[in-house]
Amino acid sequence: MNPVNPMDAKHSGPAAGPPRGPSRPEFWRSPLRGPWLTAVFGIVLLFGITVVFVTGLLSYAAYEPDLAAVNDQTPGKGWLGFYLFSWPTSPYWLYRVTQGVHVTLGVVLVPVLLAKLWSVIPKLFAWPPVRSAAQAAERISLLLLVGGAGFEFATGILNTQLHYIFPGSFYTLHFYGAWVFIGAFAVHVALRLGRAVRALRAGPRQPDPDSEEAAGLVSPRPAAPTISRRGALGMVGLGSLALLAVTAGQSVGGWFRRTALLAPHGQEPGSGPNGFQINKTAASVGIRPSDIGPAWRLTVRGGGRQIDLTHAQLLALPQHEALLPIACVEGWSTADQHWSGVRLADLAALVGLGTHPPQVLVQSVQRGGSFSSVVLSAGQVRDARSLLAVRVNGALLSPDHGHPARVIVPGAPGVHNTKWVTRLTFGEPV
């Protein structure tokens, strides 16, 4: 213990003061820290994180996890799936917007999150560390809040940048992490919203460091300012805008993709009709040329019947067009592409399920991997824009885009647009 310095007594309580270093309020000297600045960042995060959370929940609903086990990346969710609903096919750009917002806003909020943490950092070292049971509980909730925010932002950004660095388990981590984080976030908002609103009303003038309003954020020994508080806000705002400028292009797609400096640019899709973003190439998931060559067949099953089609027979069926994007969970999407192929509903009709086509299990020639099969809902099958596509932008599909046939459905996440399809099973799976 340090000897009590009478100079410190004012800020450090009656008994032995805090140890030297960051536990002493005098240690923190930025004249910018104060309740107003913290409240501004806090309110931005309150709205921003709410939107990111809701669009994240929507992303899970878009996977239709209740439809089939193959659709569900977090099968142990229990009642956390209470809000799930059947994902619509209109508007056809639905997932493109919800997931574009989720990823872009998440990235854009990073500077605000860091600034918010910086603005309250003295509180991390507050002395004594535990004053009462209630305060201990609050500090633990802050641990979950800060840890949860770091975890959610880190896993999310790693996923968008590195394409599933955690094989299969990204969903589990990000999903359960989100619920822990949002629980702590709700507690924090309940405890602090009143104070934040009062601080915003009171304006940017710094309160006395010892006052209740200062909330332990105002330095009792401020250094000379090198930037104004508005300047600091401007800097954070510019940081966010810069991130927006180099991120949003990947969700807009088309020409704007070039501005998306932060988007994964590893695979260059090239030019021509098939020259748009590819998630996983045929080679990268072990598709052999023989899997998708002349020996390839499409098997359509359902209603007790089975039909096998060659590629030529598939091309001979009535072809329909649909103008649809691919929108990946990673936040990128393509501009609308001209797909053409056979309607899923028409394929259901081939096995006698034409009037009210049921759901369908789609299976790829791909062996293994969590995206090699999916169940599409009856609503998706019945939409006239839902195709088993064989062409895109006038050309046959390239192997990387799913030749000989791939699913394309409106409004759905990219992961439901299964490539290299070889089997469709209509009806309830047995």
According to CB under 6 A, which residues from 360 to 389 bind ligand MTE?
364, 366, 369, 371-372
Which alpha helices (H) appear in 63-210, and where do they start and end? 94-108, 110-119, 121-124, 133-162, 170-202
In angstroms, give the least distance from the CB of 173 to ligand MTE: 17
Do 35 and 217 contact (CB within 8 A), yes or no? Answer: yes
Binding part of the chain for ligand MTE, among 104-112, 132-140, 273-281, 351-359 by CB under 6 A, reads 273-281
Question: For residues 282 and 292, what is the distance between their CA atoms, to the nearest angstrom?
Answer: 10
Q: Is 38 in the site for ligand MTE (CB under 6 A)?
A: no
Distance of closest approach, residue 280 Cβ to Mo ion, in angstroms:
8
- Judged by CB under 6 A, the chain residues 40 through 69 that form the site for ligand MTE are none
What residue 89 binds from ligand MTE, Mo ion, none (CB within 5 to 8 A, per partner kind)? none
Using CB under 6 A as the criterion, what x/- string covers residues 387-406 for binding ligand MTE? --------------xx----
- Cβ of residue 373: shortest distance to ligand MTE, in angstroms? 8
Cβ-defined contacts of 294-299 (< 8 Å, 24+): 296/365, 296/404, 296/422, 297/422, 298/388, 298/404, 298/405, 298/421, 298/422, 298/423, 298/424, 299/422, 299/423, 299/424
Binding segment for Mo ion among 107-115, 165-173, 202-210, 414-422 (CB under 5 A)?
Answer: 414-422
Binds ligand MTE by CB under 6 A, chosen from 119, 160, 279, 425:
279
Is 95 within 8 Å of 62 (Cβ atoms)?
A: yes
Nearest alpha-carbon partner for 206 in 224, 189, 222, 226: 222
How many CA within 13 A on the CB side of residue 178? 25
- Of 58, 199, 243, 285, the residue at the interface with ligand MTE (CB under 6 A) is 285
Distance CA 208, CA 198 (A): 15
- In angstroms, give the least distance from the CB of 152 to Mo ion: 19
Q: Give the shortest CB-330-to-Mo ion separation in angstroms.
A: 6
Contacting residues for 146 by C-beta, under 8 A, at least 6 apart: 117
Which of 326, 348, 387, 388 forms a contact with ligand MTE (CB under 6 A)? 326
Decide: 147 and 282 in contact? Cβ < 8 Å.
no
Sort residue 321 into left (φ over 0), alpha (ψ -120 to 50) or beta: beta
Among 115, 415, 422, 425, binds ligand MTE (CB under 6 A): 415
Give me the DSSP letters along 39-90.
HHHHHHHHHHHHHHHHHHHHHHHHT-TTT-GGG-S-TT-GGGGTT--PPP--
Binding string, 83-112, against Mo ion, x = CB under 5 A?
------------------------------
The site partner of 285 among Mo ion, ligand MTE, none (C-beta below 5 to 8 Å per kind) is ligand MTE
Q: Which of the listed partners (Mo ion, ligand MTE, none) does 178 bind, with a CB threshold of 5 to 8 Å by partner kind?
A: none
Q: Which of 71, 247, 417, 422 binds ligand MTE (CB under 6 A)?
A: 417
Could you count the other beta carbons within 10 Å of the beta carbon of residue 286?
A: 12
Residue carrying structure tokens 């998931």: 285
The size of the interface with ligand MTE (CB under 6 A), counted in residues, is 20
Q: Which one, of 312, 288, 287, 308, lies nearest residue 298 by Cα?
A: 308
Q: Which of residues 305-324 bind ligand MTE (CB under 6 A)?
A: none
CB of 416 to ligand MTE, least distance (A): 7
Q: Contacting ligand MTE (CB under 6 A), which of 28, 53, 153, 420?
A: 420
Nearer to ligand MTE, 169 or 226 (CB): 169
Residue owning tokens 């099958």:
381
Interaction mask 227-266, ligand MTE, x per CB under 6 A: ----------------------------------------
Q: Which of 386, 366, 397 is nearest to 426 (CA)?
A: 386
Q: Which CA distances in Å does 290 have to 287, 293, 295, 327, 404?
A: 8, 5, 7, 29, 12
Strands 305-309 and 373-376: unpaired
State the binding partner of 326 from Mo ion, ligand MTE, none, CB within 5 to 8 A by kind: ligand MTE
Residue 415 engages Mo ion in binding (rule: CB under 5 A) = yes
Contacts of 142 (CB under 8 A, 6+ apart): 184, 188
Q: Is 277 in the site for ligand MTE (CB under 6 A)?
A: yes
- Judge whether 375 and 355 are in contact, CB under 8 Å: no
Site map 320..339 versus Mo ion, x via CB under 5 A = --------x-----------
Binding site for Mo ion (CB under 5 A): 279, 328, 414-415
Binding site for ligand MTE (CB under 6 A): 277-280, 285, 326, 328, 364, 366, 369, 371-372, 401-402, 414-415, 417-420
